[in-house]
Amino acid sequence: MKKTLSTLAITSLLMGVLSGCGANGASTAGSDTIRIGLAAPISGTQAQYGTAFKNGAELAAAQINGAGGIGGKQVEIVIQDDKGDSNEAVNVANKFVTDKSILAVVGHFNSSATLATAPVYNKAKIVQVSPSSSAPGVTDAGEYTFRVITTDAFQADYLAGWSKELGYGKVALIYEQSDFGLGLLDVYKRSAPANGIEVVAAEAYNPGDKDFSTVLTKIKDKQPDAIFIGGFYNEAALIAQQAKKLNLDVDFIGVDSLYSEALLDLGKESVEGFKLIGFFYPGGDNAEAIRFNEEYQAKYGSKPDTYAAYAYVATSVILKAIQEQGADRESIKTYLETLKDYKSATGVISFDENGDVVTVPSRLTVRGGQFELYQ
Protein backbone atom coordinates (compact mmCIF):
# COMPACT_ATOMS: atom_id res chain seq x y z
CA MET A 1 0.00 0.00 0.00
CA LYS A 2 1.38 3.37 -0.99
CA LYS A 3 0.23 5.37 1.99
CA THR A 4 0.65 4.13 5.59
CA LEU A 5 0.99 5.68 9.02
CA SER A 6 2.29 3.94 12.10
CA THR A 7 0.44 4.09 15.42
CA LEU A 8 3.14 6.37 16.74
CA ALA A 9 2.78 8.70 13.76
CA ILE A 10 -0.98 8.83 14.22
CA THR A 11 -0.58 9.65 17.90
CA SER A 12 1.87 12.42 17.07
CA LEU A 13 -0.47 13.70 14.40
CA LEU A 14 -3.41 13.94 16.79
CA MET A 15 -1.27 15.82 19.28
CA GLY A 16 -0.28 18.21 16.51
CA VAL A 17 -3.89 18.83 15.55
CA LEU A 18 -4.86 19.51 19.13
CA SER A 19 -2.04 21.99 19.52
CA GLY A 20 -2.89 23.64 16.19
CA CYS A 21 0.31 22.48 14.49
CA GLY A 22 0.91 19.50 12.17
CA ALA A 23 3.94 17.31 11.77
CA ASN A 24 5.52 19.79 9.38
CA GLY A 25 4.42 22.90 11.27
CA ALA A 26 1.85 23.91 8.66
CA SER A 27 -1.37 24.99 10.31
CA THR A 28 -3.87 27.81 10.44
CA ALA A 29 -3.72 28.24 14.21
CA GLY A 30 -3.82 31.93 15.00
CA SER A 31 -4.99 32.80 11.51
CA ASP A 32 -8.43 34.01 10.48
CA THR A 33 -8.36 32.11 7.19
CA ILE A 34 -7.88 28.62 5.82
CA ARG A 35 -5.68 28.92 2.74
CA ILE A 36 -5.71 26.45 -0.15
CA GLY A 37 -3.38 26.83 -3.13
CA LEU A 38 -4.65 26.63 -6.70
CA ALA A 39 -2.14 26.00 -9.48
CA ALA A 40 -3.53 26.43 -12.99
CA PRO A 41 -2.79 27.91 -16.44
CA ILE A 42 -4.37 31.28 -15.77
CA SER A 43 -2.60 32.75 -18.80
CA GLY A 44 -1.38 31.31 -22.09
CA THR A 45 -2.97 28.97 -24.63
CA GLN A 46 -4.71 26.90 -21.94
CA ALA A 47 -6.14 29.84 -20.01
CA GLN A 48 -9.74 28.70 -20.57
CA TYR A 49 -9.01 25.63 -18.45
CA GLY A 50 -7.36 27.80 -15.82
CA THR A 51 -10.49 29.91 -15.64
CA ALA A 52 -12.58 26.76 -15.18
CA PHE A 53 -10.26 25.66 -12.36
CA LYS A 54 -10.47 29.05 -10.68
CA ASN A 55 -14.24 29.21 -10.90
CA GLY A 56 -14.78 25.69 -9.61
CA ALA A 57 -12.40 26.09 -6.68
CA GLU A 58 -13.75 29.49 -5.68
CA LEU A 59 -17.33 28.23 -5.79
CA ALA A 60 -16.44 25.42 -3.37
CA ALA A 61 -14.86 27.96 -1.04
CA ALA A 62 -17.80 30.38 -1.38
CA GLN A 63 -20.26 27.66 -0.37
CA ILE A 64 -18.28 26.85 2.76
CA ASN A 65 -17.81 30.53 3.61
CA GLY A 66 -21.51 31.23 3.10
CA ALA A 67 -22.29 28.53 5.66
CA GLY A 68 -20.00 30.13 8.25
CA GLY A 69 -16.63 28.77 7.17
CA ILE A 70 -14.74 26.01 8.97
CA GLY A 71 -14.52 26.47 12.70
CA GLY A 72 -15.46 30.10 12.16
CA LYS A 73 -12.60 30.64 9.70
CA GLN A 74 -13.12 31.70 6.10
CA VAL A 75 -11.56 29.76 3.23
CA GLU A 76 -9.22 31.58 0.87
CA ILE A 77 -8.12 30.21 -2.52
CA VAL A 78 -4.57 31.38 -3.26
CA ILE A 79 -4.05 31.35 -7.03
CA GLN A 80 -0.74 30.90 -8.83
CA ASP A 81 -0.38 30.86 -12.63
CA ASP A 82 1.74 27.95 -13.88
CA LYS A 83 1.05 28.93 -17.52
CA GLY A 84 0.63 25.26 -18.39
CA ASP A 85 4.42 24.97 -18.36
CA SER A 86 6.25 22.32 -16.34
CA ASN A 87 9.16 24.58 -15.37
CA GLU A 88 6.84 27.35 -14.22
CA ALA A 89 4.75 24.76 -12.41
CA VAL A 90 7.79 23.77 -10.33
CA ASN A 91 8.32 27.43 -9.43
CA VAL A 92 4.69 27.63 -8.32
CA ALA A 93 5.01 24.45 -6.27
CA ASN A 94 8.05 25.81 -4.47
CA LYS A 95 6.13 28.97 -3.60
CA PHE A 96 3.29 26.95 -2.13
CA VAL A 97 5.34 24.52 -0.06
CA THR A 98 7.42 27.28 1.53
CA ASP A 99 4.29 29.18 2.57
CA LYS A 100 3.33 27.39 5.76
CA SER A 101 -0.18 28.83 5.67
CA ILE A 102 -1.00 26.83 2.51
CA LEU A 103 -2.55 23.58 3.70
CA ALA A 104 -2.99 21.77 0.37
CA VAL A 105 -2.86 22.43 -3.36
CA VAL A 106 -5.47 21.97 -6.09
CA GLY A 107 -3.61 21.39 -9.36
CA HIS A 108 -2.00 21.12 -11.74
CA PHE A 109 -3.86 20.98 -15.08
CA ASN A 110 -1.32 19.18 -17.28
CA SER A 111 -0.11 15.71 -16.42
CA SER A 112 3.42 16.86 -17.27
CA ALA A 113 3.12 19.70 -14.74
CA THR A 114 1.76 17.38 -12.07
CA LEU A 115 4.56 14.88 -12.64
CA ALA A 116 7.16 17.66 -12.51
CA THR A 117 5.80 19.11 -9.26
CA ALA A 118 4.97 15.90 -7.42
CA PRO A 119 8.51 15.50 -6.00
CA VAL A 120 8.28 19.03 -4.58
CA TYR A 121 4.95 18.40 -2.85
CA ASN A 122 5.92 14.95 -1.64
CA LYS A 123 9.21 16.13 -0.16
CA ALA A 124 7.39 18.94 1.67
CA LYS A 125 4.58 16.57 2.72
CA ILE A 126 1.74 18.66 1.35
CA VAL A 127 -1.21 17.14 -0.48
CA GLN A 128 -1.66 17.91 -4.16
CA VAL A 129 -5.06 17.01 -5.66
CA SER A 130 -5.13 17.30 -9.44
CA PRO A 131 -8.50 17.88 -11.08
CA SER A 132 -7.32 16.83 -14.54
CA SER A 133 -3.95 15.08 -14.75
CA SER A 134 -4.92 11.71 -16.15
CA ALA A 135 -1.61 10.28 -17.44
CA PRO A 136 -0.95 6.76 -16.09
CA GLY A 137 2.40 7.90 -14.64
CA VAL A 138 0.64 10.03 -12.02
CA THR A 139 -0.36 6.79 -10.27
CA ASP A 140 3.22 6.42 -9.05
CA ALA A 141 3.89 10.13 -8.42
CA GLY A 142 4.01 9.81 -4.64
CA GLU A 143 1.95 9.40 -1.50
CA TYR A 144 0.89 13.06 -1.31
CA THR A 145 -0.39 13.08 -4.91
CA PHE A 146 -4.11 12.50 -5.48
CA ARG A 147 -6.43 13.10 -8.43
CA VAL A 148 -10.20 13.24 -8.92
CA ILE A 149 -10.04 12.32 -12.62
CA THR A 150 -9.67 8.72 -13.73
CA THR A 151 -6.55 7.64 -15.56
CA ASP A 152 -6.16 7.70 -19.34
CA ALA A 153 -5.64 3.96 -19.04
CA PHE A 154 -9.09 3.51 -17.52
CA GLN A 155 -10.84 5.81 -19.98
CA ALA A 156 -9.14 4.45 -23.11
CA ASP A 157 -9.74 0.85 -22.09
CA TYR A 158 -13.37 1.64 -21.29
CA LEU A 159 -13.80 3.31 -24.68
CA ALA A 160 -12.30 0.32 -26.47
CA GLY A 161 -14.95 -1.86 -24.87
CA TRP A 162 -17.70 0.59 -25.77
CA SER A 163 -16.36 0.78 -29.35
CA LYS A 164 -16.84 -2.97 -29.62
CA GLU A 165 -20.42 -2.66 -28.38
CA LEU A 166 -21.04 0.04 -30.99
CA GLY A 167 -19.83 -2.29 -33.72
CA TYR A 168 -16.70 -0.38 -34.70
CA GLY A 169 -14.33 -2.72 -36.49
CA LYS A 170 -11.92 -0.07 -37.77
CA VAL A 171 -10.98 2.98 -35.70
CA ALA A 172 -8.62 5.88 -36.42
CA LEU A 173 -7.05 7.92 -33.63
CA ILE A 174 -6.32 11.63 -33.62
CA TYR A 175 -4.47 12.52 -30.44
CA GLU A 176 -2.79 15.47 -28.78
CA GLN A 177 1.01 15.31 -28.68
CA SER A 178 1.27 15.35 -24.89
CA ASP A 179 1.43 12.94 -21.96
CA PHE A 180 -2.36 13.05 -21.95
CA GLY A 181 -2.83 12.22 -25.63
CA LEU A 182 -0.05 9.64 -25.76
CA GLY A 183 -1.49 7.85 -22.75
CA LEU A 184 -4.87 7.54 -24.45
CA LEU A 185 -3.24 6.38 -27.69
CA ASP A 186 -1.13 3.70 -26.04
CA VAL A 187 -3.90 2.15 -23.98
CA TYR A 188 -6.53 2.22 -26.73
CA LYS A 189 -4.10 0.55 -29.15
CA ARG A 190 -3.33 -2.14 -26.57
CA SER A 191 -7.01 -2.72 -25.81
CA ALA A 192 -8.21 -2.69 -29.43
CA PRO A 193 -7.22 -6.24 -30.52
CA ALA A 194 -8.99 -7.90 -27.59
CA ASN A 195 -12.14 -6.03 -28.65
CA GLY A 196 -11.87 -7.02 -32.31
CA ILE A 197 -10.86 -3.50 -33.36
CA GLU A 198 -8.26 -2.63 -35.98
CA VAL A 199 -6.53 0.71 -35.42
CA VAL A 200 -6.14 1.87 -39.02
CA ALA A 201 -4.44 5.22 -38.33
CA ALA A 202 -2.92 7.22 -35.49
CA GLU A 203 -2.24 10.90 -36.18
CA ALA A 204 -0.87 13.44 -33.71
CA TYR A 205 -1.44 17.18 -33.43
CA ASN A 206 -0.03 19.91 -31.23
CA PRO A 207 -2.20 21.77 -28.72
CA GLY A 208 -3.65 24.84 -30.39
CA ASP A 209 -3.46 23.46 -33.95
CA LYS A 210 -6.30 24.62 -36.18
CA ASP A 211 -5.77 22.89 -39.54
CA PHE A 212 -6.50 19.17 -39.55
CA SER A 213 -7.18 18.74 -43.27
CA THR A 214 -4.00 16.79 -43.98
CA VAL A 215 -4.57 14.42 -41.07
CA LEU A 216 -8.21 13.89 -42.01
CA THR A 217 -7.39 13.27 -45.67
CA LYS A 218 -5.01 10.48 -44.62
CA ILE A 219 -7.66 8.99 -42.37
CA LYS A 220 -10.39 9.20 -45.01
CA ASP A 221 -8.41 6.85 -47.23
CA LYS A 222 -8.47 4.24 -44.44
CA GLN A 223 -12.30 4.24 -44.29
CA PRO A 224 -12.67 3.89 -40.51
CA ASP A 225 -15.97 3.30 -38.77
CA ALA A 226 -15.07 5.87 -36.12
CA ILE A 227 -12.45 8.41 -35.09
CA PHE A 228 -11.31 8.46 -31.48
CA ILE A 229 -10.23 11.99 -30.50
CA GLY A 230 -7.66 11.93 -27.72
CA GLY A 231 -7.67 15.64 -26.92
CA PHE A 232 -9.76 18.61 -25.87
CA TYR A 233 -12.99 20.17 -27.03
CA ASN A 234 -11.63 23.12 -29.02
CA GLU A 235 -9.62 20.92 -31.38
CA ALA A 236 -12.37 18.29 -31.43
CA ALA A 237 -14.86 20.84 -32.75
CA LEU A 238 -12.46 21.89 -35.51
CA ILE A 239 -11.75 18.28 -36.43
CA ALA A 240 -15.47 17.55 -36.77
CA GLN A 241 -16.09 20.68 -38.88
CA GLN A 242 -13.21 19.94 -41.23
CA ALA A 243 -14.22 16.27 -41.53
CA LYS A 244 -17.64 17.41 -42.65
CA LYS A 245 -16.10 19.63 -45.34
CA LEU A 246 -14.11 16.64 -46.61
CA ASN A 247 -17.28 14.53 -46.71
CA LEU A 248 -15.75 12.19 -44.17
CA ASP A 249 -18.87 10.51 -42.81
CA VAL A 250 -17.72 8.82 -39.64
CA ASP A 251 -18.67 8.51 -35.98
CA PHE A 252 -16.63 10.34 -33.34
CA ILE A 253 -15.87 9.05 -29.85
CA GLY A 254 -13.84 10.54 -27.03
CA VAL A 255 -13.13 10.95 -23.35
CA ASP A 256 -14.43 13.33 -20.70
CA SER A 257 -12.22 16.19 -21.89
CA LEU A 258 -14.74 16.78 -24.70
CA TYR A 259 -17.57 17.61 -22.31
CA SER A 260 -18.04 21.36 -22.63
CA GLU A 261 -20.58 23.80 -23.99
CA ALA A 262 -17.66 25.04 -26.12
CA LEU A 263 -17.76 21.78 -28.11
CA LEU A 264 -21.42 22.43 -28.91
CA ASP A 265 -20.99 26.14 -29.60
CA LEU A 266 -17.93 25.74 -31.81
CA GLY A 267 -18.86 22.48 -33.54
CA LYS A 268 -22.59 23.09 -33.99
CA GLU A 269 -24.17 20.49 -36.28
CA SER A 270 -20.81 18.89 -37.07
CA VAL A 271 -20.57 17.44 -33.53
CA GLU A 272 -24.07 15.97 -33.62
CA GLY A 273 -23.86 12.31 -32.67
CA PHE A 274 -20.53 12.59 -30.83
CA LYS A 275 -20.17 9.84 -28.24
CA LEU A 276 -18.12 10.38 -25.09
CA ILE A 277 -17.82 9.27 -21.53
CA GLY A 278 -18.35 11.76 -18.75
CA PHE A 279 -18.18 11.93 -14.98
CA PHE A 280 -19.81 15.34 -14.55
CA TYR A 281 -23.29 15.32 -16.07
CA PRO A 282 -26.05 17.47 -14.51
CA GLY A 283 -28.78 16.03 -16.74
CA GLY A 284 -29.15 12.79 -14.82
CA ASP A 285 -30.00 11.92 -11.22
CA ASN A 286 -26.77 13.09 -9.52
CA ALA A 287 -28.08 15.62 -7.02
CA GLU A 288 -24.60 17.03 -6.38
CA ALA A 289 -24.02 17.62 -10.10
CA ILE A 290 -27.39 19.33 -10.42
CA ARG A 291 -26.70 21.57 -7.41
CA PHE A 292 -23.21 22.46 -8.64
CA ASN A 293 -24.53 23.25 -12.12
CA GLU A 294 -27.23 25.56 -10.77
CA GLU A 295 -24.97 27.40 -8.33
CA TYR A 296 -22.18 27.74 -10.88
CA GLN A 297 -24.53 29.34 -13.41
CA ALA A 298 -25.98 31.63 -10.75
CA LYS A 299 -22.48 32.79 -9.76
CA TYR A 300 -20.79 33.01 -13.16
CA GLY A 301 -23.59 33.28 -15.71
CA SER A 302 -22.36 30.35 -17.80
CA LYS A 303 -22.54 26.57 -17.77
CA PRO A 304 -19.67 24.70 -16.13
CA ASP A 305 -17.50 22.31 -18.09
CA THR A 306 -15.82 19.13 -16.91
CA TYR A 307 -12.76 20.94 -15.57
CA ALA A 308 -14.75 23.40 -13.49
CA ALA A 309 -16.53 20.42 -11.94
CA TYR A 310 -13.29 18.53 -11.30
CA ALA A 311 -11.68 21.58 -9.66
CA TYR A 312 -14.79 22.03 -7.53
CA VAL A 313 -14.60 18.41 -6.39
CA ALA A 314 -10.83 18.55 -5.76
CA THR A 315 -11.31 21.62 -3.57
CA SER A 316 -14.35 20.13 -1.85
CA VAL A 317 -12.58 16.95 -0.74
CA ILE A 318 -9.73 19.00 0.72
CA LEU A 319 -12.18 21.19 2.61
CA LYS A 320 -14.07 18.11 3.78
CA ALA A 321 -10.79 16.72 5.11
CA ILE A 322 -10.19 19.94 7.05
CA GLN A 323 -13.71 19.88 8.44
CA GLU A 324 -13.30 16.29 9.60
CA GLN A 325 -9.64 16.15 10.67
CA GLY A 326 -8.48 19.71 11.27
CA ALA A 327 -6.51 22.42 9.48
CA ASP A 328 -3.25 20.53 9.16
CA ARG A 329 -1.32 19.26 6.12
CA GLU A 330 -0.79 15.72 7.36
CA SER A 331 -4.36 15.38 8.57
CA ILE A 332 -5.62 16.17 5.09
CA LYS A 333 -3.55 13.33 3.64
CA THR A 334 -4.73 10.92 6.33
CA TYR A 335 -8.38 11.72 5.59
CA LEU A 336 -8.06 11.42 1.80
CA GLU A 337 -6.39 8.03 2.16
CA THR A 338 -9.59 6.73 3.74
CA LEU A 339 -12.13 8.60 1.58
CA LYS A 340 -14.78 6.18 0.39
CA ASP A 341 -18.08 6.66 -1.47
CA TYR A 342 -18.01 10.46 -1.33
CA LYS A 343 -20.99 11.87 -3.23
CA SER A 344 -19.65 14.55 -5.54
CA ALA A 345 -20.54 16.53 -8.65
CA THR A 346 -18.52 14.03 -10.70
CA GLY A 347 -20.13 10.94 -9.19
CA VAL A 348 -19.58 8.77 -6.15
CA ILE A 349 -15.82 8.70 -5.62
CA SER A 350 -13.22 6.93 -3.51
CA PHE A 351 -9.41 7.01 -3.57
CA ASP A 352 -7.39 3.82 -3.96
CA GLU A 353 -4.02 3.12 -2.34
CA ASN A 354 -2.26 5.17 -5.05
CA GLY A 355 -4.41 8.27 -4.70
CA ASP A 356 -6.24 7.47 -7.94
CA VAL A 357 -9.97 8.08 -7.99
CA VAL A 358 -12.37 5.15 -8.27
CA THR A 359 -15.70 5.96 -9.91
CA VAL A 360 -17.99 5.03 -12.81
CA PRO A 361 -18.56 7.11 -15.97
CA SER A 362 -21.75 7.98 -17.79
CA ARG A 363 -22.12 7.33 -21.50
CA LEU A 364 -23.09 10.53 -23.28
CA THR A 365 -23.93 11.66 -26.78
CA VAL A 366 -24.75 14.94 -28.52
CA ARG A 367 -28.32 15.05 -29.71
CA GLY A 368 -30.20 18.15 -30.84
CA GLY A 369 -27.28 20.34 -29.90
CA GLN A 370 -27.25 19.11 -26.30
CA PHE A 371 -25.49 16.46 -24.25
CA GLU A 372 -27.70 13.54 -23.37
CA LEU A 373 -27.29 10.13 -21.80
CA TYR A 374 -26.58 7.58 -24.52
CA GLN A 375 -29.38 5.03 -24.77
| pLDDT per position as a tens digit, 185-217 | 999 999 999 999 999 999 999 989 999 999 999
The 3-class secondary structure across 195-261, one letter per residue, is HCCEEEEEEEECCCCCCCHHHHHHHHHHCCCEEEEECCHHHHHHHHHHHHHCCCCCEEEECHHHCCH
* Run of H or E including 334: helix 329-337
User: Can you tell me the mean pLDDT for 320-340?
Assistant: 97
Q: Does position 27 have pLDDT exceeding 70, yes or no?
A: no
Lowest mean pLDDT among 23-32, 88-97, 233-242, 309-318: 23-32
Specify the amino acid at residue 267: G
Q: Does position 175 have pLDDT exceeding 80, yes or no?
A: yes
Specify the amino acid at residue 151: T
User: Can you tell me the mean pLDDT for 61-89?
Assistant: 97
Order across the sheet with 170-176: list the strands.
198-205, 170-176, 226-230, 251-254, 275-278, 362-367, 370-373
**CATH architecture assigned to 7-150+286-358:** 3-Layer(aba) Sandwich (3.40)
Domain boundaries, the chain: 7-150+286-358, 153-278
Confidence of residue 16 (pLDDT cuts 50, 70, 90): very low
Q: Does position 267 have pLDDT exceeding 80, yes or no?
A: yes
State the average pLDDT for the chain: 92
Do domains 7-150+286-358 and 153-278 share one topology? The answer is yes
pTM metric for this prediction: 0.87
Of 287, 283, 349, nearest to 316 by C-alpha is: 349
Confidence of residue 147 (pLDDT cuts 50, 70, 90): very high
Residue 170 contacts by C-beta under 8 Å, 6 or more apart in sequence? 197, 198, 200, 222, 223, 224, 225, 226
**CATH architecture assigned to 153-278:** 3-Layer(aba) Sandwich (3.40)
pLDDT for the residue numbered 281: 96
Confidence of residue 26 (pLDDT cuts 50, 70, 90): low
Of 140, 88, 147, nearest to 119 by C-alpha is: 140
Confidence of residue 31 (pLDDT cuts 50, 70, 90): confident
Q: Is 255 left (phi over 0), alpha (psi -120 to 50) or beta?
A: beta
- Whole-angstrom distance, CA of residue 130 vs CA of residue 124: 17
